[in-house]
Amino acid sequence: MTTEHAAASKFPKLTYPKLPMRFNTAGPCDGERHYLVPPLPRVPGAQLFVEQGDYFVMHAPRQSGKTTFLRHFATALTAQGIFAALYISCEAAEASEDNAVMAQEIIVGEVLREAEHQLPLGLRPPALDARSGSATLLTELLTSWCEACPRRVVLFLDEIDAVRGQSLISVLRQVRAGFPKRPDHAPWSVMLCGLRDVRDYKAASGGDAQRIGSASPFNVKVESLALATFSEAEVRALLMQHTTETGQEFEPEAVTRVLELAGGQPWLVNAIGREIVEKMRITGPVSEAQIDEAKERLVLARATHLDSLVSRLAEPRVRRLIEPLLAGEGVALDPVFDDDLAYLVDLGLVKSRPLRVANPIYAEVIARVLSAPAEESVLADPRTFVMADGRFSIDVLIREFAAFWVEHGEAMVEGATYREAASQLVLMAFLQRVVNGGGIVTREYGLGRRRIDLLIAWPYLDAAGKRQIQREAIELKVWRDGRKDPLAEGLRQLDGYLDSLGLSQGVLILFDRRTTAEPLEERTREEAAVTATGKPVRILRA
């Protein structure tokens, strides 16, 4: 012990008062400080795989609880008295790129450091020079550890997909090579954990099966486990923990709204709770309207979690799926589509069966980000859309958008990155600019629907001074080459949408994107129609 350490040890460790429990949006959850859904039941098959000595994979999107689960699982396994379980993050090895020796040194260093914190002295790996420059440094560490440890070693490698190229190949080969030597000379069980399933590790290592000697760089894995989003019961339980801690209740409609907006995504559930409690500082019962306000604030703030998803929108395989989703079009069902879909599901951007954006908040963020360039060109004054009685004017909206579309539409569509959905995005941008601050625009879009449904929710005070919500439904359709006029289909679809909302009238906007369409200023006009059930519809052909 150095003189400095000896002096420091004379001072007793300070104790701090217990901090209030809170909704956590940064890093792994600590049950002493954070509201926490029990992590272990979220991956029920993991315990059996460890007991059987399996090598397996777990994957889940960012900030969905992977690290929280792994830390709790490793602690629980070690506490059973049979295993020495260790969790490490491989994220720091990302900087090694193709330097396999450097990657091993980083990972081995992490194993040695984390073992000091997570395991008692008798279960830790023996001392090893983590900078020896050995090409098989990881194997040497794991072998010496397993030979010396009185228990079966279990290793969790988190953020494994941060490692790339030759570095990833080297790490996976060494782990895989130990599989037949377990438990005396290699870990009894290994879990690889990251954003993606093992099928994408081949791409991360260079994409060529010949470079790694097999079609999969980890072909000893028994199964891939996905960390599920929160169930309805888990969301309710998390919110109830806050009620139990503070006495503040979430009204039943508010809980339902959290379920709808977050879709069970753990970070979003916690972010809504934190927005309500810590930023909006709501003190009484939490209402549905306040949940909607919290959602709007999150979307506008675009926290790191949301920005990390937005950054993916420029990727070709993300665009190949998100663009037809926004446009309501179908896609070719081929191996490329299957790979793209698997990638986006692993990222947490979409869900399948039916294919849709994973939750309404992600859908809102995607639409706003992609429509933002067009929104900058909208100079209309939102106050001109508000009538004398405080209600929102659909007449002004149709008239002003028609003029805007004639002036700017073609140029915006031609310059759009997501060109197939450009018409819809321009309208969304216009709506967002003129409604933002006074009301809320919600969007419903999905693959193969050939339409986008929009709903304006506009609060106002009636003659008696009571707060009311005006709701206006708008449906968007596109007339493309090789198809017939979508008017009849649009009226039928809008009729059903209005029924679902309990509204008696609506707006249908038809964008004509055929190569044989009339010039924009000639084809942009208003029409009127009635649905099969007698609901009047304002039509704008554009």
CATH number, domain of 186, equals 3.40.50.300
Which residue in 40, 50, 86, 72 sits closest to 189, CA to CA?
Answer: 50
Return the structure tokens found at 457: 């929710």
The residue from 209, 226, 243 where one domain ends is 226
Taking the C-alpha atoms of 224, 227, 233 and 236 in order, what is their torsion angle to the nearest 10 degrees? 180
140 found inside a domain: yes
Identify the segments of the chain with pLDDT beneath 70: 1-11, 13-14, 16, 196-222, 332-333, 447-448
Q: How far apart are CA 146 and CA 188, in angstroms?
A: 9
d(CA 323, CA 335) in angstroms, rounded, equals: 18
Asked if 526 contacts 534 with a C-beta cutoff of 8 angstroms, the reply is no
Give 383's contacts (C-beta < 8 A, 6+ positions apart).
none
Q: What is the pLDDT of residue 329?
A: 78
- Whether 334 and 262 share a structural domain: no
Q: Give me the pLDDT at residue 215, please.
A: 36
Residue 31 lies inside a defined structural domain of this protein: no
Range of the domain at 46: 38-226
Contact status, residue 274 vs residue 282, Cβ threshold 8 Å: no
- The pLDDT assigned to 4 comes to 42
319 occurs within a structural domain: yes
Query: Do residues 134 and 245 share a domain?
Result: no
203 and 90 in a common domain: yes
Annotate 355-391 with DSSP letters as a single string.
Answer: TEESSHHHHHHHHHHHHHHHHTT----GGGGB-TTS-
Q: Of 226, 247, 268, which residue is a domain's last?
A: 226
pLDDT for the residue numbered 222: 65
Per-residue burial over 182-198, b = 16 or more CB atoms within 10 Å of its CB, e = otherwise: bbeebbbbbbbbbbbbb
pTM of the model: 0.84
**Euclidean distance between CA atoms 528 and 536, whole angstroms:** 7
The answer to whether residues 215 and 242 belong to one domain is: no
Give the bridge partners for 537, in sequence order. 506, 529
Domain CATH for 264: 1.10.8
Q: How many residues can be counted in the chain?
A: 542
Residues β-bridged to residue 527: 539
3-state SS, 412-462, equals HHHCCCCHHHHHHHHHHHHHHHHHECCEEEEEEECCCCCCEEEEEEEEEEC
Whether residues 409 and 283 share a domain: the answer is no
Same domain, yes or no: 326 and 394:
yes
For residues 144 and 197, membership in a common domain is answered with yes
Domain assignment present for residue 17? The answer is no
Looking at the fold, whether 222 and 237 belong to one and the same domain comes out as no
For residue 463, is it within any domain? yes
Does 385 lie in the same domain as 464? yes
Q: Is residue 16 one of the residues assigned to a domain?
A: no
Residue with tokens 């900087």: 95
Amino acid residing at 227: L
- Mark whether 164 and 77 lie in a shared domain: yes
Write down the pLDDT at residue 450: 81
Confidence (pLDDT) at 121: 95
Angle between the N-to-C axes of helices 137-148 and 100-118, in degrees from 0 to 180, rounded to the nearest 10 = 30
Predicted local distance difference test score (pLDDT) of residue 243: 97
User: 8: helix, coil or strand?
Assistant: helix
Does residue 19 form part of some domain? no
Tokens 């294919």 identify what position? Answer: 355
Residue at which a domain ends, from 301, 323, 342: 301
Number of domains observed in the structure of the chain: 3
The reply to whether 261 and 334 lie within a common domain is no
Q: Is residue 3 part of a domain?
A: no
269 shares a domain with 222: no
